Amino acid sequence: MNKSFILLILALGLVSVSCTSDKQIEDWIAKNPEKILKSVMEHQRAQQEANQPKSEMVTANSKALFEHSESPSRGNGKIKIAYFFDFNCGHCKKQSETIKSVLNNTKDVTVIYKNFPVLGPSSELAARAALAAHQQNKYTEFYEELHKAQQKTPEAMASIAKKLGLDIKKWQADQNSDAVNKELDHVRELASNMKISGTPFLAIAPDKIFPGRVDQLQEIVNSML
């Protein structure tokens, strides 16, 4: 019998520790398969729940979520939304459209953009390019143009930078600057603290969390006005 499976049975308390022989454990397992299945499922469920974001994490990380001055933001309202996203995430593109609509319709909203590139090197490059544009106060414009781009290639992003009239040399250098590195590290640490592993993810002050796309964001915001 697999040793790790025996240890799991003992750890779950299904068999007394005094029952030490493999034969005794095998006999017990043969007679109680349903108890094993139930306990293993409960154990897995408990582990999954322990690794999920919780509403109290929003309150505990409020300052990092909503008051970190280096994160790009849009709007100046009392309802604060921290938005974790990846430029290569299809659901994030749709979420971006919903957020833009909410910002256009509601003055009492502030969106704080948390660039969280989780889908590979291209996502990392896109986040750095956008944050470099932020160093020239062009984050929103770059963000929207990049969402429109079919490909997130260096050439496409350079074309956007030129279109927006950025200082290209500064923009290129800033992609690997301390400011951009610190912002990406800030978001990664915050995501780790809140057990956020994917995008999109929204946190709304003081204690709301929304893993996944939120199409009904306008209705949620309206209920908070």
**Per-10-residue mean pLDDT, the chain, length 225:** 51 51 65 66 56 86 96 97 97 97 96 97 97 98 95 95 98 98 98 95 96 96 95
Domain ranges in the chain with CATH number 3.40.30.10: 55-224
pTM above 0.85, yes or no: no
* Mean pLDDT, rounded, of the chain: 87
Instruction: Output b/e per residue, 21-58; b: 16+ Cβ within 10 A.
Output: eeeebeebbeeeeeebeebeeeeeeeeeeeeebeeebb
Separation CA 194–CA 184 (nearest Å): 15
| pLDDT-above-70 percentage for the chain | 78
Sign for the CA dihedral angle at 150, 155, 160, 163 comes to negative
Question: Which residues, including other chains, have CB under 8 Å from residue 183's CB and lie 6 or more apart?
Answer: 70, 71, 115, 131
CATH architecture of 55-224: 3-Layer(aba) Sandwich (3.40)
Q: Which two tokens stand for residue 199?
A: 């995008």
